[in-house]
Structure 1
Amino acid sequence: MSVSEDKQKQTKLLLIGETGNGKSSVGNFILKKNVFEVSGSPNSQTREVDVQSGEGDRKDLIVIDTPSLQESKEFNEKFLNDIVDIVQEEGINGIVIILNYNTNRISNNIKIMIQIMSKIFPSHDFLKHICIVWNKCYYYISDRQLTNQKEIKRNEFLPELMTRTEIFTGAEETIDIPMYYVDSQPDKRYDNRRSEEEIERLIEWGRGITPINIDTSNQEKTPVIEEKEETESMGNNDKQIITQVKRKRRKIRIGFNGEIKYGDWKLIKVMSNEKQSSNPLKTVAVIGAIIITGTIAIGTAIYLFW
């Protein structure tokens, strides 16, 4: 067998997910060896894109572990463009979204990451190359409880994810996104065959998919819009605490060659309000102050357009 024929049979899986969901431990579980660094800390241990391969009956598997999105645009640009460079070489089979089984919420970072991925890859078959791993589905969860949760996640969570994804891919057909339920760091004293069988199903799915590569067409891609709110205390007037909420926005542009470029945060809205102090007689120090030209009436908002 030639080297090129062997490479054609490789199955590459790209892991994305929020800090604390266990991307690295899932990667180790897929490859059946501890090659990705794992930490019990809530802070992300993965700081750069890491590519590892399997052995034995999983020697065809290549897993790409990635950091979580951060506030720093320089950090995000570097690791996202590293992903592009790696994928451009030979493509990937599947994008594996790692989520926490114990929550049904889609974090803003996950939404942004999916939007970016949907623009990096060809939109017409992007959805066919994604799956979800619900990690931290602990071995002691009963089959009955798991069945109920599967219904909730498929009927409530998945439609929300699909709706958000369809907005950016333009996909109209209904695609059944595979979901797998895994405990990637089980207590070795107990039976974890359920998770092992789920991972085997995931691998079978990845092996059966034709690789997808970066979209290098000349079609212009609309930027991804990321928003956030920052709340600052402006002090108090003995009876009420005055706060100011700033809504900011930045654009993430994807070039024709897949290059990702972050813009700077822009202020688009300022809101101020007063909240009844729980202890009106207690003096509260001013934590921060911002000077804005003009007068902001309490309870109103100022919009900035850009």
Structure 2
Amino acid sequence: MRERALLMCFLLFSAALSGCFGQEESVAPVEEIITSNREFVTGPDGLPVDVPLLPFEFNFSDVGEDGPEPSIGVTSSGCIFFIALEKVMRSCDFGQTWEEVQGPECSPTTSDPYGWVDPITDRVFGVQMIGLETSWICWSDDDGETWLGNPHDSGTTPLNDHIKLATGPWTSSGYGTLGQITGSTIYETAVYYCYNKLAGIFCFTSLDGGATFELGGQIFGLATTNGGLHGAISTAPDGTVYVTPRVPTPTVIVSKDNGLSWFERTMGEDIGTPYPRKNSEVAADTDSNAYHVWTGPGG
């Protein structure tokens, strides 16, 4: 009997120690996360240069209004303009306070808002799509103190959607020859207005600072695919205009004559882009080198 009791104690003691002497549980090694440097600086030729980035400091600013599909611009006086649906909001104290400044010349409603500040003339644009029928554009040349507007300002062809507006220098060819006439009523910069409809992309050029858009029409080629959806209009200091269509191959539609004629440049065929893709964007530096950024595979 005593031997059985000793045997039971030994078995219980062995079971208690089995976790200590048994095979240790394997622990997966912690994978070291290596972060790649996604910051780069380029020179006037677009090639990388070994200089430090400019220091950035970001501060939160609450405009106090709903602002889906927002757009923002800053005049040379330092006033910030933010398009909050049909409202044009302004801050002249670095975003600390905001006020609504659009006048009765601007649309009281919107189906699709857009805003732009001309970096050359400081003209502030409030662009509001009115259904699919037209767009109501208003503008100010004194930081939003006074306004002018046109309630039917969408070019020669009605029905517009996904509206975009931008400005840029006049060239010496095409519509730009008109912009070279000194002492005329032609505005200092070319104003562009583009939109899509099922037939493709339509782009117009204004000679009077965005008051009317009488020149232009449909862009043909890849612009006619995918219903004409496209990204923002951008311009370079030499007057080149860029529009980016939503097509399977990364593409930029370009005009060298202020919108009279357009041609296409495709790129990134070896990389590709998800389709249907989001809008891509083009920006140009002070030497008119253009940079095209788009969403890559898995984006």
TM, length-normalised to structure 1: 0.24
Larger radius of gyration: 2
Q: Per chain length, whose mean CA-contact separation is higher, i.e. which structure has more relative contact order (CA < 8 Å, sep 6+)?
A: 1
Q: Could you say which structure has the higher helix fraction?
A: 1
